[in-house]
């Protein structure tokens, strides 16, 4: 490897570490903001914003208990897989005017697979624990995953297909290409409505990906005593909670990149480093707004669903909305 190649490799390693650390910090911060806002909306004081950080450090120093009937290597490996796969997605997401670290090595299809890994890790960990409650939670997690994957994939295919018609010959599933060519700019009135349907579809998939109310059915503390995570404690539980916090940033970032990729630095007639700072701050503001509507508001406004209700909601109703969005975009292109 040449000197320049080694330098680029080292810079990517450093960049990966920085992104991972920032992703964890930002994820825990937004999780604290989410909990505080939810409490205020329910007329409660709620925990301080720093509470997720305190919970994480508390769990890290507690004893890590492995059940007697568990399969240790699966039980202990599942939280690591969940966190690593979630953090890896951050490397493919462009933030504001900063290109993705691995933007040339993966696309939205790869991200769809990576998004499934944390759920698979939860299922594997639940089944390997030897607990009846965890096994029931794992079965519910599998049903949930199979239910929301269809509307998620429909959204991805619709965006990529329409972009391929507008710009033939490019990698239409590249997040950098998608963020540089927003769907709103290449569709007419009917396509605009269709794009809104796709946005709605992704917004409703998000709480299921994050396993929050009304789709926290695999955990369901009041029914399954914690369900899929009932046997987890200490560092393992901390890693699962950390993966969920980072995944909140990932899902919100995908919504921003796919539907709201616009920057505002040009409005202030600035350039260079200052423009980058302004765009990054604006990106975090958009993240806050998206998390509020896709996570906080939904879990405060809606009670937990039954597993059959959630499955039907995704497989029938939300998939239909996603397909309607695809159909409207197709009709808009034809006419």
Distance in angstroms (rounded) separating the CA atoms of residues 207 and 213 = 7
Considering only 5-9, 69-73, 171-175, 222-226, which range has the smallest mean pLDDT?
A: 222-226
**Interatomic CA distance for residues 265 and 281, integer angstroms:** 10
Rounded mean pLDDT of the chain? 89
List pLDDT tens digits, range 149-167.
999 999 999 999 999 888 8
pLDDT at 15 over 60: yes
Its sign, for the CA torsion 91, 261, 52, 217, is negative
Structure confidence at residue 223 (pLDDT) = 65
DSSP symbol at 131: -
**Which residue, 200, 215, 327, 297, is CA-closest to 255?**
200
Phi, then psi, of 216 in degrees rounded to 5: -90, 35
pLDDT at 217: 82
Say if residue 159 is exposed, middle or buried (CB neighbours under 10 Å; 0-12, 13-18, 19+). buried
Q: What is the pLDDT of residue 251?
A: 95
Residue-wise pLDDT for 81-112, tens only, equals 999 999 999 999 998 778 888 877 778 889 99
Distance separating alpha carbons of residues 74 and 107, to the nearest angstrom: 29
Q: Is the peptide bond before 214 cis (omega within 30 degrees of 0)?
A: yes
Confidence label for 64 from pLDDT (cuts 50, 70 and 90): confident
Q: State the DSSP code for 170.
A: S
- Higher-confidence position of 101 and 248: 248
Cβ(316)–Cβ(308) below 8 Å: no
pLDDT of residue 3: 61
> With pLDDT > 70 as the criterion, what percentage of the chain qualifies?
97
Whether pTM > 0.85 for this model: the answer is yes
Residues 6+ apart with CB under 8 A from 162: 183, 186, 187, 191, 329, 333
**Residue 165: how many CB atoms within 10 A of its CB?**
12
**Predicted confidence (pLDDT) per residue in 279-321, tens digit:** 899 999 999 999 999 999 998 888 888 888 889 999 999 999 9
Q: Which has more pLDDT, 2 or 178?
A: 178
Q: Give yes or no for a contact between 188 and 165, defined as CB atoms under 8 angstroms apart.
A: no
Between the ranges 63-67, 162-166, 321-325, where is the mean pLDDT highest?
A: 321-325
**Spatial distance between the Cα atoms of 300 and 314, rounded to a whole number of angstroms:** 20
């Amino acid at each position: 490897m040449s000197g320049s190649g080694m330098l680029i490799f080292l810079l990517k390693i450093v960049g990966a570490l920085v992104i991972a650390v920032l992703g964890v910090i930002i994820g825990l911060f937004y999780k604290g903001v989410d909990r505080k806002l939810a409490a205020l909306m329910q007329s409660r004081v709620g925990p301080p914003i720093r509470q997720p950080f305190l919970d994480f450090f508390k769990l890290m120093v507690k004893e890590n208990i492995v059940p007697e009937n568990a399969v240790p290597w699966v039980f202990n490996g599942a939280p690591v897989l969940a966190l690593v796969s979630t953090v890896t997605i951050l490397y493919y997401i462009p933030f504001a005017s900063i290109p993705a670290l691995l933007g040339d090595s993966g696309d939205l299809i790869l991200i769809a697979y990576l998004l499934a890994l944390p759920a698979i890790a939860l299922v594997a960990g639940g089944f390997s624990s030897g607990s009846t409650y965890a096994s029931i939670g794992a079965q519910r997690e599998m049903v949930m995953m199979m239910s929301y994957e269809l509307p998620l994939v429909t959204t991805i295919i619709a965006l990529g297909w329409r972009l391929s018609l507008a710009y033939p010959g490019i990698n239409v599933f590249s997040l950098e290409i998608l963020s540089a060519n927003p769907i709103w700019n290449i569709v007419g009135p009917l396509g605009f409505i269709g794009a809104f349907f796709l946005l709605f579809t992704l917004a409703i998939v998000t709480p299921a990906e994050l396993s929050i109310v009304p789709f926290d059915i695999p955990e369901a503390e009041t029914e399954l005593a914690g369900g899929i995570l009932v046997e987890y404690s200490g560092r393992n539980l901390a890693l699962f909670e950390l993966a969920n916090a980072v995944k909140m940033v990932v899902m919100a970032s995908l919504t921003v990149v796919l539907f709201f990729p616009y920057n505002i630095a040009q409005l202030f007639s600035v350039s260079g480093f200052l423009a980058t700072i302004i765009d990054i701050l604006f990106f975090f503001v958009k993240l806050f707004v998206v998390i509020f509507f896709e996570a906080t508001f939904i879990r405060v406004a809606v009670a937990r669903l039954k597993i059959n209700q959630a499955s039907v909601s995704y497989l029938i109703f939300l998939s239909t909305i996603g397909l309607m969005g695809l159909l409207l975009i197709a009709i808009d292109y034809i006419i």
